[in-house]
Structure 1
Amino acid sequence: MDRVFQLAAERPVVVFSKSSCCMCHTIKTLFFDFGVNPTVYELDQIPGGREIEQALARHGVAGDFPVVFIGGNLVGGANEIMTLHLNGSLSAMLKRAGALWL
């Protein structure tokens, strides 16, 4: 899990995704619509992706993709991101992380 947190801390918004996941696509599109350029790791396409997926599962994030980190902190999956968006707190969180300047 250390590698996951290291990757998550390198950029303001990090998304662990799978290329065939429709909710992953939806959340990435939401970030792009905000003007945020998240760092995306497509676990089914990168070397070591399976190991990252297993580390996330050991941390309690099993099979729920995407997995989103903002400001180095685990936020959660699509449900958590959409809840933050709908209650108006996602943009503030993105601003605090330095991912959004508006």
Structure 2
Amino acid sequence: MDKIRDLAGKKAAGIFTKSSCCMCHSIKTLFYELGASPAIHELDKDPEGREMERALRALGSNPTVPAVFVGGRYVGSAKDIISFHVDGSLKQMLKDAKAIWF
């Protein structure tokens, strides 16, 4: 869990993903389109990926990826992020965390 917190807090936005996950790709694309440049942590390419996946599950991320952090705080998985985007609150979250400026 400590590694998750450390990685999640290094940038204003971070996404824990797997390279083969289509929803992970969609969420990353959404962040890029909003002007954010999130830290991407691909669990299937990290030697500690399985341990981090267990930690994300314990944190409440189900499914475990994508797991999105904004301002160092876990904000949800794909369905949560899409809901935040639809209601307009995702952009404000990113602004508040200084992940985007406009």
Normalization by structure 1: what TM-score? Answer: 0.94
Q: Which stretches in structure 2 are left out of the alignment for 5+ residues?
A: none
| CA apart distance, 1:62 | 4.2
Whole-angstrom distance in 2 between the partners of 1:23 and 1:3: 23
2:29 aligned with 1:32, yes or no?
no
Whole-angstrom distance in 2 between the partners of 1:61 and 1:88: 22
2:2 aligned with 1:2, yes or no?
yes
Matches within 5 A, 1:11-90: 11-90=11-90
Aligned residues between the structures: 102
**Runs (4+) off by over 4 Å:** none
Normalization by structure 2: what TM-score? Answer: 0.94
CA contact (8 A) 2:57 2:64 kept: no
| Residue aligned with 1:44, SS | helix
| CA apart distance, 1:63 | 3.2
Whole-angstrom distance in 1 between the partners of 2:77 and 2:95: 19
Deviations along 1:8-34, whole A, 9 cap, x unmatched? 111100100011101000000000111
Identity, % of aligned pairs?
Answer: 49
| CA apart distance, 1:4 | 0.7
Q: Which stretches in structure 1 are left out of the alignment for 5+ residues?
A: none
